[in-house]
Structure 1
Amino acid sequence: MCISHGQNSTLVNIEQRRSIRSFTDKLVPDEHLMTILRAANQAPSAHNQQSWKFIVIRGKRKNELVGLVGAKAGEFPRAAAVLLRMAARSINSAPVVIVVANTGKLIGHGTELFQVEKDQALDFFKTMEIQSSAAAIQNLLVAAASLGLATVWLGILFLIKDEVLRLMGEQEGEFMAVVPLGYAAKDVKEPKKINFDMMVKWLE
């Protein structure tokens, strides 16, 4: 079922966004990249800490990531290995890749301030950092779609997040996401969605 959006361009972009796993070799203009990154940075974040970092990789570093993902795939059972190899191909295909990582700033700051049991505070702020970064990525995906660009959020790479973060020169953290970005090599049909009525519960 389509979103009732009329002429609302934001809702149009949300509805038309697709996960694209193969890209053309057309380069993404730097001005588009900056627009997308600024949109991601406008996401709501817990205590306005913006405890995320956007790492843009191309060329040699992107090739190193492809190699890492392909090499690590062999260490996992078949289902995960297949998805990791698919992810490596998507990264290789894209002209640019954005890696998103938590900084740990909110976790460190919050656990010092909150006068509650330390493990409870850690879980609380860890969850808020993850939620904040996920919101930033959603902004990134929709902003890219609005500029005619294609993306895919490669969630399977969470299996090797610490290795990916080390390759990026970042400390190990609670969250990591890899988003290949470029122009779609082919159109993708709208995925079948679960009946909307099953997804909403009304209480009074």
Structure 2
Amino acid sequence: MSEINATLETIVRRHSIRKFTDQPVSEEMLQAVLHAANQAPSAHNQQSWRFVVVTGEKKRQLAELVKQRATDFPKASSALLRMAARSIATAPVVVAVANTGELIEHGTKLFQLEDAYVSQDFFRTMEIQSSAAAVENMLLAATALGFGSVWLGVLFLIKDEVMAFLGEGQGEFMAVVPIGYAERDSSGPKKRATDVVVRRLD
């Protein structure tokens, strides 16, 4: 293929951006990113995700929370949490993603599996898969619109505090995604060759 498809080009260009300028993200652009996230596939079309937009003073408080908690962890984890705090602080807008548990409730009632633990684990896994697809849509939409973004999965280490801060204490932590204009141009890390990670069964 001599010319790459625009969607495939966006996928290739997407990489984690951790430092941002203070240029704001317009409400129109933010809505476009959120709409793309909401179009992700979800098990039983339950869309059992919640997007929490954090800006202004609340964003500053979230960054401070992460920074303070970083001191309670070993060196490597602490460094990643401090880096996450800086990303949150410098981005003009942060979108947190939480799983609501609605798919778990819906699926458990619908399938009526005898083993309650298997049922819970089955639908929780599908809920995570669905929200992961939504987060990836968000990252790709941000890239397509000229923004940088990063999936701060390390905040899982303090997930209960983050969820309580967000007012989503009954949900399950999925992601925190700072979005904004990259402080400088950069390229992502080199990926392993595709043929290294592919197996074929005939």
Interval of TM-score (by shorter of Structure 1 and Structure 2): over 0.9
Q: Within 1, Cα distance between the matches of 2:160 and 2:108?
A: 22
Partner residue in 2 for 1:108: 105
Q: How does 1:81-120 map to 2 (within 5 A)?
A: 81-116=78-113, 117-120=115-118
Q: Within 1, Cα distance between the matches of 2:129 and 2:57?
A: 31
1:63 aligns with 2:56: no
Match of 2:180 among 164, 179, 182: 182
3-state DSSP of counterpart to 1:178:
strand
Partner residue in 2 for 1:19: 16
CA RMSD of aligned residues (A): 1.2
Q: Is the Cα–Cα contact under 8 Å of residues 16 and 188 in structure 2 kept in the other structure?
A: no
Partner residue in 2 for 1:136: 134
Give every structure 1 segment of 4 or more consecutive aligned residues whose post-TM-superposition deviation is greater than 3 Å: 172-175
For each residue in 1:42-94, what CA deviation from the matched residue of structure 2 results, as whole angstroms up to 9, or x when unmatched? Answer: 00000000000111110111011011101111111111011000000010010
Q: Is the Cα–Cα contact under 8 Å of residues 148 and 183 in structure 1 kept in the other structure?
A: yes
> Residue 107 of structure 1: CA displacement?
0.9
Partner residue in 2 for 1:8: 5
Unpaired runs of 5+ in structure 2? Answer: none
Q: Within 2, Cα distance between the matches of 1:169 and 1:139?
A: 24
For each residue in 1:139-184, what CA deviation from the matched residue of structure 2 results, as whole angstroms up to 9, or x when unmatched? Answer: 0000011110100001100111111110011124333200000000
Question: One-letter code of the match for 2:180?
Answer: G
> Residue 7 of structure 1: CA displacement?
4.6
Aligned identity (percent) is 58
Q: Is the Cα–Cα contact under 8 Å of residues 18 and 150 in structure 2 kept in the other structure?
A: yes
Q: Is the Cα–Cα contact under 8 Å of residues 67 and 85 in structure 2 kept in the other structure?
A: yes
> TM-score, normalised to structure 1's length?
0.95
Q: Within 1, Cα distance between the matches of 2:25 and 2:8?
A: 24
3-state DSSP of counterpart to 1:62:
helix
Q: Is the Cα–Cα contact under 8 Å of residues 91 and 97 in structure 1 kept in the other structure?
A: yes
Q: How does 1:24-35 map to 2 (within 5 A)?
A: 24-35=21-32
Partner residue in 2 for 1:151: 149
Q: Is the Cα–Cα contact under 8 Å of residues 165 and 176 in structure 1 kept in the other structure?
A: no
Structure 1 residues 90 and 5, CA gap change in structure 2 (3 angstroms): farther
> TM-score, normalised to structure 2's length?
0.96
3-state DSSP of counterpart to 1:67:
helix
Q: Which is further off, 75-84 or 104-113?
A: 104-113
Q: Within 2, Cα distance between the matches of 1:42 and 1:164?
A: 25
Match of 1:124 among 113, 122, 125: 122
